[in-house]
Structure 1
Amino acid sequence: MKASDVLLQQVLEAPNGLHPDKAAIIYADETYTYAQLDEASGRLAAGLQVNGLLRQERVVVCLGNRVETVCAFWGVLRAGGVMVNVGLETPADSLDYIIRDAEASVLITTSEKFASLAPGTAELSYLKAIVLLDGEADAADTHTLESLLGQGAGIPLPCGNLDLDLAAIIYTSGSTGAPKGVMLTHRNMLAALTSLHTYLGYQASDNVLCSLPLSFDYGLYQMIMALSAGATLVLEKEFTWPIFLIKKIRQYQVTVIPFVPTMLMLLHEYAHKREATFPQVRMVTNTGAALKANHIAQMKGLFPQALIFSMYGLTECKRCTYLPPEDIDDKPGSVGIAIPNTELWLVDDEGRRIDTPHQVGQLVIRGATVMAGYWRNPQATAQKLKPGPYPGESVLYTGDYCSLDQDGYLYFQGRMDHMIKSRGMKVSPSEVESFLYAIDGVEAAAVVGIEHASVGEGLWAFVTLGQGVSLSAEHLLERCRHGLEAHKVPLSISIEGNLPRTANGKFDLQQLQQTARHAQLAVAG
C-alpha cells in the first residue's frame, strides 16, 4: 500500500508492478499470477463499461468462493461500480430482494442460481446486463463471463471515483427483518486495511488460506489483505472439510490461517486423532466470538509456532478490537484493545459515558472505518450513527453490550437484541456460555432465550462434548446451579452431536431457538 492510494483498487498496483509473475491466487490447484489477475479484472471492467455500467452503479455477484469472484471484485471497482457480493448459498428469495433493494445494474452468477430467481427478475428496468458463469447466453442482455471478458478494448476507462464514493455494499441479516446493506466507501475500506496491516502485518512471503466466505467481511478482507501485501491467497470453498484443509495447509505451506471457532473445532478434532501439527504456520486469527480457553489450547497444539490473534468486530466498522498475542493467556475472555486509528468507549442506557471498570454498557466506535450508513434505510442508519464528541462527525453505536477492565481491555457481553430477561434480570448468553465452556469436556456451547410462563424468558443451553467425554445434562445443570446465580441457570441443557451454524460460521441461534421451543412443547405434552 502507498500513502497516495485513495481508491481501493489502487492497492494492487504495487504488487503487480513488483512481481507480476508471482502467484496471487491458488484455486482448485490452479495458479493465477498478479499479472493475470490484473489483465482479467481490467477486461472485466472494460466489458462492464461497454454494457453501460456507470459510476457508482451496483453489481451483484453471486458465485461463491471462486477465482472469478476475486476477479469480479477488482473489475467492478476498476469500472467505477459498487461491489455487492452475495453468498452462493443465499436463498433465491433473499437474492431477489438484494437485487431489487440495491437496484443492481449487473448480475453475475451461475446459470443454476439465475434459473432459481423470480420470473420477473430479468425484466427489471435497471438491470442492464446478466452475466452467467456457465451455460449459454439466450438473450440480448445476457452474456457469459467469457464473452464479457472479450468485449471492449481490455483497458477500462478512468472511473472518476473519489475516496468518499462507495466501494462495496455488504448485506447483513440480523435476527429480525430484511437484510440491511452496509455501505462502505473506498475511504472506509482503505482505513480498515491500513489498520489491519498495522497490527497483523501480512507479508509478501505469506501463503494465506481462506475457506471463509468472501461474501462476509472476514473472508473478504483475507483476500484484500493478502493481495495488497503481495502474498499468495490459497482460496478454498466455504468451510472445506478438515481432511481437505489439512491437505492444502501442507501442500501449499500455508503460513496464515483465519478461523471462526466452529471451523477450528472441526479441524482440531480431525487433526488430533492423527497427531497432526503445523509448525510452519506463523499466524492464526479468530473472530466471530471470543476465544475460550479450550480454543486457545487447541490452537497452541495445532500451531505451536503461531502468533494467536483473537479479534472482534462487525460489518458496520469492519473490526473493533484485537487482543495482542502476548496477552492471550493474561486476559482470558477479552477481545482486546481498539485497532489502530480508532477509539472506543461505553455508554449507559441514557447515553452517558461509562468510566467505571467492569460496568456493562453499549460499545461505541469512532474512526474512519465506520460505515457510511445502511443503503436506502435512513431509519436504521439513524439508530446506529449518532453525533460524536466533535462537531460534524458521526460515531457508531454498535448495539453490543461490553465491559472494560482496569487496563482498558474489552470484554464482549452480548448483543443488545440477544439479551435475555429472566426473572426480571438481564442475562448475557455469553456469560452462561463461558461458564459452560469452563467445564472440562464441554467442546462448544450456545444459549438462547425462550418464553416461559413463570420466569418471563428462560435460558436453554446447547452443548457438544469432546471426543470420548461422557457428561449428562443433569450433571451440567447441577454445575450451573452451584456456580451461577439463580436467574442465569438454564431451564434445560441439550447435549448435541454438533450445533447448526450460519453461512459465516457462527452458531445459528434462530434454529437453536426453534429447536428449544419444540423441545419445550414436547416436555409440556
Structure 2
Amino acid sequence: MVPLDPVPHPIDTLTMRGAGDAMALEDKAGTLSFAELEAAVGGMAHWLARQGLAPGDRVATWLPKTRTACLMPLAAPRAGLVHVPVNPVLKRQQVAHILADSGARLLVTQASRIAALEPGDVPVGCRVVTEDELTSRDALPPSSGDPDALAAILYTSGSTGRPKGVMLSHANLWLGAVSVAHYLQISSEDRVLGVLPLSFDYGQNQLLSTWYAGARVIPLDYLTARDVVKAVERYDATTLAGVPPLWVQVLEAEWGETANRLKRLTNSGGALTTPMVRGLRERFPNARLYPMYGLTEAFRSTYLDPSLVDANPDSMGKAIPFAEIIIVRPDGSRADPGEPGELVHAGALVAQGYWQDPERTAQRFRPAPDFAESGGMAVWSGDTVTEGPDGLLRFVGRDDEMIKSAGNRISPTEVEEAVLSGGEVAEAAAFGVKDERLGQAIVVVARAKGDAALAEASLRERLRRELPSFMQPSRYEWREALPRNANGKLDRAALKAGLESLA
C-alpha cells in the first residue's frame, strides 16, 4: 500500500514516482515509460517557457484525451504556469467564457476546434496554437517551487451564474494523489482505465494518483459501454472509475469473462442507488467497489470501505486521508450523531478559493469551526448529511439548486440564460428532477412568446448547436404565467413543487 506521506511536492515531479522502464501511459499510439513521460513533460514545459509567458500565466487546453491533454497538468506547472483544462464537450460559448474569465494567454487545441470558434470567442492577448506545435529538442528539469503556488484552475458550475474556476495548488493536487493512491491501494502493477474528462477533478486525479503509485493509466474517449468493455479486455485494465449514468450503461452491456478482470471500481459525481450497488457487486465479483463523495472545492471528502458496501449501500463512508469532515448545525455547533447538519470539509485538500471571485469565495470558503482539528479555511458544502453511530455518513439533501446530471454539476442559471437568449420564450426556470439513468434530468418551466409548440421546436434546434449534450433540457413544461413571490421574483419553490407533483 502507498504510504501516507503528508509532505507535498511540486506536482510535475510525479514523473519520478515510477521505475524508469515501467509503463506510465498506454493508448492507441503505444506506450510511454516513466522515463519517457519525464522527457515528454520536460520537452513540453521547455516549449511553454519559450512563449513569452510570465510566471503564473494561464494556459488552457481544449482537447480530447490526447497525449498533450494528459501531459499538460504536469508540463504547465513545471514551466511556472497555471493549467486550465476545458471540457472537450463544451461548445464555443462556454469555452469563450472560460478563456475570458481565466485570462488565458494561450489556448492549446486542434484545428477542427479552432474552426468552430467565432470572432470574439478568444480574448485579446490569448494566442491559439494546435497541439502539434508543442515540440522541443530541449527539456526543463523537474521543478522545485513552492507547493502552495497555484498549479491549476478547474471550472465548475455554481448554483447561480456561469462556471467558476476553482484554484488548486501543487499541494492540493499532490496530496489528493497521495490520498487516493493510498486508500484505493493502487500498486505499480495496476492498469487504470481513464474514461472520465480530464477537466474534472475526478478524471484528472486518475492520472495523478495512478502515476503517484508508479502505475499505468490508459486514457479512453468512449462512445458506448461496449467501447469500455473492449478497452478493459484489450489493455487488461484492473481499475475503472465512473459516474452513475456510466454504470447504468455498463450493467446493460455484455461483459462475459472480461468482467472478472476488473479488481477495482470507483464511483463519484452522484450517489449510487442500492440496486446499482447490488448490480455492480453481482456483475463484477472480483472487484472492490469504492463509493465516494466529493466537492471540486476540496477535491474529495469521503469514501466507503469496500468491506462495508454490502451492508451499507446507501452510505457515503468516512473521511478520506488528509480530510477532516465535520457535521455542523445551523448555529455553527457540532451536530450530534444521527442529527442532520451541513457537511464541512477542512484540511490540506481545501482549494484556494474561486479565481477572481472574492464574493463567491467568501460564501463557500469560510474559517473552519473552532472545534475542528484543522485550522484555516474550510469548504462549507451546503449539503445536509447525518453521521450514524457507526461513524458512517449518509446524504440527506442538497441545499442549493445545483443540477447533478450524468455526473456533471450544472448551473440552472446557465441553462436559463441559454434558453432565454434566442427570444423564443419570455420567462424560464430550470430544475433537476429525479431520473433513473441520469441521476437528475433537466426540466425547463417556461412561458412562450408565441405558440409553445413552435417555441419548443426552435429551442431544441438552437440549443443542440449552443449547449453540450449534458446540458440539454430533457423536457419543457409550458405555462401561461409563472408564479412570483412577494419580491416580484419567480417563485422557484412553487415551480419546483409543481414539478414534483407531476413526477
Query: When the two structures are superposed, what TM-score results if normalisation uses the length of structure 2?
Result: 0.78
Q: Give 3-state SS (helix, strand or coil) of 1:45's partner.
A: helix
Are 1:7 and 2:10 counterparts?
yes
Q: CA deviation at 1:417?
A: 1.2
- The residue that corresponds to 1:229 in the other structure is 213
- Once the two structures are superposed, residues 242-264 of structure 1 have per-residue CA deviations (whole angstroms, 9 ceiling, x without a partner) of 21211111111111111211111
- Matched residue, 2:128: 130
Residue 273 of structure 2: which of 279, 282, 292 is its match?
A: 292
d(CA) in 2 for partners of 1:463 and 1:388? 36
Residue pairs, 1:35-114, within 5 angstroms: 35-114=35-114
**Distance across 1 between alignment mates of 2:262 and 2:356:** 43
Q: Which residue of 1 aligns with 2:201?
A: 217
Q: Would the alpha carbon gap of residues 72 and 4 (structure 1) be closer, same or farther in structure 2, given more than 3 Å must change?
A: same
Distance (Å, rounded) in 2 between the aligned partners of 1:413 and 1:509: 25
CA spacing shift, 1:30–1:418, aligned 2, 3 Å: same
Deviation digits for residues 476-507 of structure 1 (CA, Å, limit 9, x no counterpart) = xxxxxxxxxxxxxxxxxxxxxxxxxxxxxxx9
The equivalent of 1:417 in structure 2 is 400
2:283 paired residue number? 302
- From 347, 350, 353, the equivalent of 1:373 is 353
Rounded to whole Å, the distance in 1 between the matches of 2:44 and 2:219 is 20
Is 2:296 aligned against 1:318?
no
Q: Contact conserved, 1:24 with 1:233, CA < 8 A, in 2?
A: yes
Contact 1:361 1:403 in 2 (8 A): yes
Q: Deviations over 1:4-57 (max 9, x none)?
A: 652111122131xx2x23322122252222222222221111111111122221
Match of 2:380 in 1: 397
Which structure is higher in RCO with an 8 Å CA cutoff and minimum separation 6?
A: 2
Q: Deviations over 1:231-287 (max 9, x none)?
A: 1111100x441212111111111111112111111111112xx65552221111111
Distance 1:281 1:160, change over 3 A: closer
With 217-226 and 108-117 compared, the bigger mean Cα shift is at: 108-117
Supply the distance in 1 between the matched residues of 2:298 and 2:172 (Cα, whole angstroms).
Answer: 8
C-alpha distance 393-463 of structure 1, shift in aligned 2 (>3 A): closer
Contact between 2:15 and 2:35, CA under 8 Å: does it hold in 1?
no
Asked whether the equivalents of residues 401 and 413 of structure 1 are also in contact (C-alpha less than 8 Å), the reply is yes
What SS does the corresponding residue of 1:59 show, helix, strand or coil?
strand
Matched, 1:279 2:221: no
* Residues 1:245 and 2:243 are matched in the alignment: no
Tell me the distance in 1 between the aligned counterparts of 2:63 and 2:166. Answer: 20
Query: Separation in 1 of the partners of 2:431 and 2:149?
Result: 46
Contact 2:277/2:313 (CA < 8 Å) preserved in 1?
A: no
The AA in structure 2 aligned to 1:10 is: T
Q: Which runs of no fewer than 5 residues in structure 1 stay unpaired? A: 134-144, 420-428, 431-447, 449-456, 466-506
Q: Tell me which of 364, 383, 389 is aligned to 1:406.
A: 389
Which residue in the other structure is 1:472 paired with?
none
* Structure 1 residues 99 and 159: alpha-carbon distance in aligned structure 2, compared to 1, 3 A threshold: farther
The Cα shift of 1:326 comes to 0.9
Distance 2:21 2:238 in 1: 20
Amino acid at match of 2:240: I
Partner amino acid, structure 1, of 2:62:
C
1:423: which partner in 2? none
CA distance in 1, matches of 2:102, 2:392: 38
One-letter code aligned to 2:400: D
Residue 334, structure 1, aligned to residue 306, structure 2: no
Residue identity matched to 1:131: V
**Residues 145-156 of structure 1 correspond to what in structure 2 (within 5 A)?**
145-146=132-133, 148-150=134-136, 154-156=138-140
Superimposed CA distance per residue, residues 369-389 of structure 1 (whole angstroms, 9 cap, x where no aligned partner): 001100000000101111224
Q: Distance in 2 between matches of 1:159 and 1:340?
A: 26
Q: With structure 1 as the length reference, what TM-score do the two structures score?
A: 0.75
What one-letter code is carried by the residue in structure 2 that aligns with 1:149? T
Decide whether aligned partners of structure 1 residues 172 and 510 sit closer, same or farther in structure 2, where only a CA change above 3 A counts.
same
Aligned length: 426
Q: How many Å separate the matches in 1 of 2:165 and 2:431?
A: 32
Q: Aligned Cα RMSD in Å?
A: 3.1
Alignment check: 8 A CA contact 1:192 1:318 kept: yes
Give the 3 Å change call, closer, same or farther, for CA 459–262 of structure 1 in structure 2: closer
Cα offset, 1:509, TM superposition: 8.3
C-alpha distance in 1 between matches for 2:209 and 2:83: 17
Per the alignment, residue 364 of structure 1 pairs with 344
Q: Does 1:255 align with 2:238?
A: yes
Displacement of 1:170: 0.3
Tell me by how many angstroms 1:289 deviates. 2.1
Label 1:322 to 1:314 Cα distance change in 2 as closer, same or farther (>3 A): same
- What per-residue deviation string (whole Å, max 9, x for no partner) do you get for residues 439-464 of structure 1? xxxxxxxxx9xxxxxxxx99965446
Question: Is the contact made by 1:79 and 1:157 (CA closer than 8 Å) also made in structure 2?
Answer: no
The answer to whether structure 1 residue 186 and structure 2 residue 184 are counterparts is no
Q: Distance in 1 between matches of 2:252 and 2:123?
A: 49
Cα distance in 2 for residues equivalent to 1:175 and 1:27: 37
Q: Confirm or deny: 8 A CA contact 2:99 2:122 kept in the other structure.
A: no
- Three-state SS of the structure 2 residue aligned to 1:149 is coil
Letter in 1 for 2:51: N
Distance 1:248 1:464, change over 3 A: closer
- TM-superposed CA distance for 1:157, in Å, is 6.7
Check whether the contact 1:55–1:80 (CA below 8 A) recurs between aligned residues: yes
SS in 1 for 2:396: strand
- Sort the Cα spacing of 1:510 and 1:119 in 2 relative to 1 into closer, same or farther, 3 A: closer
**1:298-355: per-residue Cα shift (whole Å, max 9, x none)?**
2122211111111100101111100011110222311100112221122233333211
Query: Aligned equivalents of 1:58 and 1:458: distance in 2?
Result: 33
**Are residues 1:511 and 2:473 paired?**
yes
Matching residue of 2:366: 386
CA deviation digits over 1:111-130, x for unaligned, max 9? Answer: 222233342355613x2x42
